[in-house]
Structure 1
Amino acid sequence: MTTLGAVFLPQLPPEQLRSVVRAADEAGLEELWLWEDCFLESGIATASAALAWSSRLRVGVGLLPVPLRNVAITGMELATLFRLFPDRAIVGVGHGVQSWMGQVGARADSPLTLLREYTSALRALLRGERVTVEGRYVRLDGVALDWPPTTGAAVLAGATGPRTLRLSGEVSDGTILTGGTDIEGVRAARRLIDEGRRAAGRTDPHPVVVYLHAATGPDAAERMAAEHVKWGYAERGVDPADVTVAGDAETVADAVRRWAEAGADTVVLQPTPDDPDPEGFMRFVAQEVRPLVP
C-alpha cells in the first residue's frame, strides 16, 4: 500500500506547527514531513514538538544536512527521538544545499565522501556499536551511545544525482527524492538505488519517498503556476503535469497513483508556501485523497 504524507513547510512560522500537527493527527494523516532548511527551522526541534503534540502521527525529517552536524550529536538526537517515540520518527540525511553550506563555512570538497562516511557511522551508532573511524571528514574514537534505539532506527538519505542515488542504495535504509522528480525520474532513481544495493549485497527493504508539489482549492492552478516558475521548471521547459498537481481530490489522487506506480513507496504532498489553509490541506490529504489511493 502506498503511504501518503504532507509537508509542513518551514516558510510557515514555528508557532503554527501545533495547529497543523493537531489537524493532521485528528484527520488520520499517516505522515507529516518537516524540513531543516537554512535558515528557517530546526528539523529536530520541530520533529520533537510534532511527535509530542500528536498521538499516532508519524513524523519525518527530510532532511538533516550533514555538513552542519557532528555525527555524534546527530546520533544522540536521533536515538533520543527513536526511544521517546518508538516507530513514529523517520529521519533522512543529505548533502544540504551547497550554497547554504558555503554561507556557514561548512561546504565539503567531496559531499559524496562525507555522506558515505557520515551515514555509515550514524547507522553503526544507532545499532549500538562502539565506533572508531578515521575518515576524511568523520572521526570518532571509541564512541558509543549509552541509550541507543531499541526499534525503528532507520536512516534515509536524500539523493538526486546518479552517484548519490547509488550511494543511498548502498549505505542507507531508504531514499528521499526531491520535489520536481517526475515519473521517469522515480523509475531511474529506483534503477540506480538497486545498483548500489546489489553492489553492497543488500537485500533488506529500501523504501523510496518522493515529494510531489500539490495544491487544491479555487486558486490552486494559479498558486501552482507560480511554484512552477519559482522552482525554475518553466524556464527549463518542464511540463507542469510532469512535476506538479493542482485540483480536487480525484485529480491529486490520480497523480499520487502514477508516482506510486513508478516506484515511490511514500508520496508526500508538498503544498505551496502561500496555501491559505495549511490545517485544511492536512485534512484534505487525509480525508479526501487517502481513500482514493490504494
Structure 2
Amino acid sequence: MTALANPVRKSETASKRRRERVRPLQIIVFILLCLCSVLLIFPLLWMLSTSLKAPYEVMSLDLKLLPKVIQWNNYVELFQQYPVFHFMWNTIYVTALNIIGKLVSCTLVAYGFAKYRARGKNVLFVILLSTMMVPWAVTMVPLFILFKEIGWYNTFLPLWVPSFFGDAFSIFLLRQFMMGIPKELEEAARIDGAGLPRVLWNVVVPNLKPALVVVSIFSFFNTWNDFLGPLIFLSDPEKATLQLGIQFLRTQYNVQWHYMMAFSVVSLVPCLIVFFFGQRQIVDGITLTGIK
C-alpha cells in the first residue's frame, strides 16, 4: 500500500509544482491582454469624450480625456440641425435589402456546390474563391460606368442589387456548413414527396441557422459601415446614408468635431448592439463550420 501511495503523492506534488509555474505566466498574459484592450478601446473612449466636449475644449492643446463640463446638448443639437433619422432610415433600408439578398442568393448557390454532382463544379468553386483576391477598388470604376449607363446612378439600386448575385465568402461559409448536414434528412423529405423548395425551407435552412446568422451579421457590418459605395453612386444629399452624412459636418472652412464625433457615436451604437447579441452566434457558426 505504501509503495502504491508514493507514486500518487509524487504525481500530486509534480502537478502542484506545474500549477505554481503556470500561475505567474497566466498573470503576465492577463496583464498584457488588459494593456492591449486599453490600447484598442482608447480611440472609442476619446471619440465619446470628444462628443461631450464644448467646441473650444475640442480644439484646446490641453488634451484631457474627461471634459470639464459634459455637453449633452451636443446630441440634441445634432438631431435638431441634421436629418440623422433620415440618414439612418436610408442605411437601414440598404442594409436590410443586402442581408436578404445575400441570404437568398448565397444559400441557393452554396446548396448547389455542396449537394449536386456536376462536372467542373470544383473548378467553378475555385474560380469563385479566387474573386476574393480581387480588391473592390479594381472593379469600382467599371461598376460605376455600368450602373451609370443603365440609369442606376443616384439610386439605391447599385448598393443592394449586387447582393442578390451572391458573395464569395458567404457562399464558401454556407457550403462548408451544408456539407455537414446528413443526406438522410433530405432523402427522407424527398420520400415524403417534398420538392426542392420544401427541402431547402424545411430541412436545410433550419439546420443552417448558425451559418445564416454569421452571414447576416457580416453583411450588416459591411453595409452599415460602407462609405465608399454611397459616395460613388449617390449624389443627392436626401439619399445619403449615415457614413456619408457624417461628411456633411465637414465643410471647406470649418469642421464641427464635437458634432462629428457625436454622429459617429450614434452610427456606432447599432453595431455595438448587434455585436453584443451576436458574438456568440459568430463564434458558434464559424466553429461548427470548421468542425463539419
Which TM-score band (shorter chain)? under 0.3
TM-score scaled by length of structure 2: 0.22
- TM-score where L is the length of structure 1: 0.22
Greater helix proportion: 2
**Higher RCO (CA 8 Å, separation ≥ 6 residues):** 2
> Which of the pair has more CA radius of gyration?
2
Between structures 1 and 2, the one with greater strand share: 1
